Structure 1
Amino acid sequence: MAGEDAGAARYPGLAGEGAPYLGLAGEGALYLALGALFSGLSLRKILKNEVKFQDASLCVLPALLLLEALCYAFLPPGLGLSVFSVACGFYYIALPVRRMLPAAGKSVLVTGCDSGLGHALAKHLDKQGLLVFAGVLNRNGPGAEELRRACSPNLCLIQLDVTNSEEITAAHCEISGRVKDAGLWALVHNAGVLVYVADGELLPVNVYKQCMEVNFLGVVQVTKMFMPLLRKAKGRLVTISSMAGLNPIPGFAAYAASKAAVTMFCAVMRQDLFKWGVKVSSIHPSGFKTNIFGSREHCSIQAQDLLENLKPDVRDDYGEDYLNTLKDLHHEMLTTSSSNISPVLEDAYHALLAQRPYSTYNPGTFAYLIPLIFRCFPLWFYDTIAKQMFPIHRAILPRSLRTFHNNYKTD
């Protein structure tokens, strides 16, 4: 028969009397059945364990489909089905399973709890039954008062400026006295500053210094102080970094540099602390509505400071109208950011109590996709995407560039 002749031509070893032969239709049905079985089992595991898309490595699925097609086209039925089955099995086993440790008896220090993510995380962890040490800049401020009112009596407010060595030492003495021989289960670095968004040339040097002192050096100082307690508990070191620490975002030169530094610090600490049984995770959120953008009054003060520190020739090149548009960037970013911070809270909780926490988390819209594009695609492609996504590219051109373009059109 024609079908058998085609099959014999494709697999000469199967030709001859008595040789087992599936036929092309039968072989295709087996591949379809195996693919359907694998897809169903994987989907069930993903839904049952609440696995996020990025954690499920969905980018692997097209590669598996391509492998299936190649096995069907070029390999004998037995070998092709075996190779495809092994690949599917490895993917299924690699899918993460949500197994959590009990919260009872575990303590955690969270920095930057006056407002924003740290404030919400302290409340969330307190509700889950952890002993929370909430580090605040002002123990008598409105954020601290809200935590006292809303949380259980177990929550302990800690006066902690991560740039103040004396306060770090005092916080360590207070916490070590509470946890004693049990050690500190987890340290969550959340305190951070953005200060101002503008072209890197325009940002004053003190903005770079402030970002590095809080976002990076503060993390290093607090980590070094509390590491003996973490090692004693074989606990967790968790840092809330930023998507800006993984890929360049225009206007974020100071902030992104500090977040890139802390991201690499955590990556190295993960390797250093493996032998001690301490697990290290970094969380890289995208845009969420927090107080890191500051109020309009804060932006106005920073804008004035920026103008006062500019050299006359730089101010003339950019122009007052361009500089004034930068004031609106903070408000625009705040209005386009998500007000639902639950993805960050869920990832932080997983990093703290999962039996097998991930080394990196990417909560929020595009938080996984944008760094992936930056790493895997040509730079011109990433730059094109960035021009459409980030608001600083939609601002008017600096004055000298507008003058150049107008003169060019006139000529």
Structure 2
Amino acid sequence: MWLYLAALLGLYFLRRWYRERQTVENLTEKYVFITGCDSGFGNQLARQLDARGLRVLAACLTQQGAEQLGKATSERLQTTLLDVTSTESVAAAAAWAKERVGNKGLWGLVNNAGIAHPMAPNEWLTKQDFRKVLDVNLLGVIDTTVQLLPLVKSARGRLVNVASVMGRLAMLGGGYCVAKYGVEAFSDSLRRELHSFGIRVSIIEPGNFKTSITVNLQENLQAVWSRVPAEIQESYGQPYFEAGEIVVQCCSLLYPVTDCMEHALTSRYPRSRYSGGWDAKLYYIPVSYLPTVLADYLLMRCGPKPAHAI
């Protein structure tokens, strides 16, 4: 019996391996719009797809980022400025994209733009701190998707939304985890709504990588701590702050994530979810399936304790 089960499992993975290596035809004629291309995953993906011959429409927050990306890529790649927190900026970018894709439509939309700070225990933060992150990481994704969706529908293309392992396990306070949970929910609803239109929706769930999101974590935490009311500081204690300074071991190679994005855009049979990085595959994703009491133990056992802990 076990031999038959092993054989069936082997056949399943063999079939999956074969299907996932079949690519979409005429990739050099397809347009892909990517947000957050100044640095990190978006910048790497833009260069990666450009090298493969796709027609990349790269949206950057700054003129400097757009110019640097343009110098590092071919003439096929085109850049525009985009602030995903501004509906007017998103509308202008959507009109710009429509002019370039014409009747071909937009094959791929990659919602990659994101920020993390302020990130700290929730009690240290204000409503504005949460809004700052949610405006980019969740509402920006929603606004960009809604305004560019008609172009994706005309091409029967792909939507790729960058979430995080923290969209499964809320390990840090602040708007980041809240937003990434929201991206997961938004993407799930889109996948079911758009299936009848031939549009495939994929969620990317990276682990810890060295990007603009993970730099200056200590400095940002210090800035939040410095404005926390004295009574709250006392309840946590200075040792809690010092022990809780965020030190993340990040992978500097971004290919494990951008390869997932590329596969979601170019494979005939993309996955609904991609976990980027070995820490995501071997630790965070498995822990997310554990009973809550076990997951809490694993995530809390190494954390600092407040001065007034029970």
Equivalent of 1:288 in 209, 217, 224: 209
- The one of the two structures with greater contact order (alpha-carbon pairs below 8 A, sep at least 6) is 2
Q: Is residue 244–residue 252 contact of structure 1 (8 Å, CA) maintained in 2? A: no
The residue that corresponds to 2:285 in the other structure is 371
TM-score, normalised by the number of residues in structure 1: 0.70
Report the Cα offset of residue 147 of structure 1: 0.7
> Does the Cα contact within 8 Å between 1:134 and 1:155 map onto a contact in 2?
yes
Match of 1:104 in 2: 28
Matching of residues 235-274 of structure 1 within 5 Å:
235-249=157-171, 251-274=172-195
CA distances 1:359-391 after superposition (whole Å, capped 9, x unpaired) = 00001023134223322x222222232236xxx
Within the alignment, does 1:131 sit opposite 2:55 as a pair? Answer: yes
Q: C-alpha distance in 1, partners of 2:224/2:13?
A: 54
User: Cα deviations across residues 254-299 of structure 1 (Å, max 9, x unaligned)?
Assistant: 2111100011100110000011111100000100111112336xx5
Partner of 1:303: 222
Q: Could you tell me which residue of structure 2 aligns to residue 344 of structure 1? A: 257
Corresponding position of 1:193: 115
Query: 1:204 touches 1:306 (CA, 8 Å); kept in 2?
Result: no
* Cα displacement (A) at 1:89: 4.8
- Tell me the amino acid that sits aligned with residue 285 of structure 1: P
Q: What does the per-residue CA deviation read over 1:136-185, in whole Å, with 9 as the maximum and x for residues that have no partner?
A: 1112x2x2222121101111111101011111111111110111111111
Matched, 1:224 2:146: yes
Q: Could you tell me how far apart the structure 1 residues matched to 2:223 and 2:9 are?
A: 59
CA distance in 2, matches of 1:379, 1:87: 29
Partner of 1:215: 137
When residues 183 and 319 of structure 1 are mapped into structure 2, their CA distance, relative to the original with a 3 A threshold, is same
**Contact 1:188 1:239 (8 Å CA) reproduced:** yes
Secondary structure of the residue aligned to 1:400 is coil
Amino acid of the residue matched to residue 166 of structure 1?
E
CA distance in 1, matches of 2:167, 2:13: 29
Change (3 A) 1:135 1:86: closer
Q: Shift in Å at residue 92 of structure 1? A: 4.6
Residue 96 of structure 1 deviates from its aligned partner by: 5.0
Distance in 2 (CA, whole Å) between partners of 1:196 and 1:229 is 34
Q: Is the 1:195–1:293 Cα contact (8 Å) retained in structure 2?
A: no
Contact 1:163 1:213 (C-alpha < 8 Å) held by counterparts: yes
Q: Which runs of 5+ in 2 are unaligned?
A: none
Q: Would the aligned equivalents of 2:66 and 2:80 in 1 still touch at CA under 8 Å?
A: no
Q: Structure 1 87/170 Cα, relative in aligned 2: closer, same or farther at 3 Å?
A: closer
Q: Distance in 2 between matches of 1:201 and 1:87?
A: 48
Matches of 1:232 and 1:343 in 2, distance apart? 30
Question: Which moves more between the two structures, 108-117 or 94-103?
Answer: 94-103
Q: Distance in 1 between matches of 2:77 and 2:2?
A: 54
| Displacement after TM superposition at 1:247 (Å) | 1.9
- Equivalent pairs counted in the alignment come to 307
Deviation (angstroms), 1:121: 1.0
State which of 399, 403, 407 in structure 1 corresponds to 2:307: 399
Give unmatched runs, 5+ long, in structure 1: 1-66, 70-80, 405-411
Q: Name the SS of the counterpart of 1:362 in structure 2.
A: strand
Residue 16 of structure 1 corresponds to none
Q: Provide the secondary structure at the position in 1 that maps to 2:28.
A: coil
Matches of 2:76 and 2:185, distance apart in 1: 34
Q: Contact 1:287–1:365 (CA<8 Å) still a contact in 2?
A: no
Residue 150 of structure 1 corresponds to 72
Larger helix proportion, structure 1 or 2? 1
* CA-CA distance at 1:88 after TM superposition: 5.9
Separation (CA, whole Å) in 2 of partners of 1:253 and 1:172? 30
Match of 2:88 in 1: 166
**Counterparts of residues 32-71 of structure 1 (less than 5 Å):** 67-68=1-2
Q: Using the TM superposition, give the Cα deviation of residue 302 of structure 1 relative to its aligned residue in structure 2, in angstroms.
A: 5.5
| Structure 2 residue identity aligned to 1:400 | H
In structure 2, what is the Cα distance between the partners aligned to 1:125 and 1:243? 24
Structure-2 separation of matches of 1:90 and 1:112: 37
TM-superposed deviation, 1:117? 1.0
Q: Distance in 2 between matches of 1:314 and 1:285?
A: 33
The verdict on how the C-alpha distance between 1:260 and 1:148 changes in structure 2, with shifts beyond 3 A counting, is same
Percent of residue pairs bearing the same amino acid type: 31
Aligned to 2:241: 323
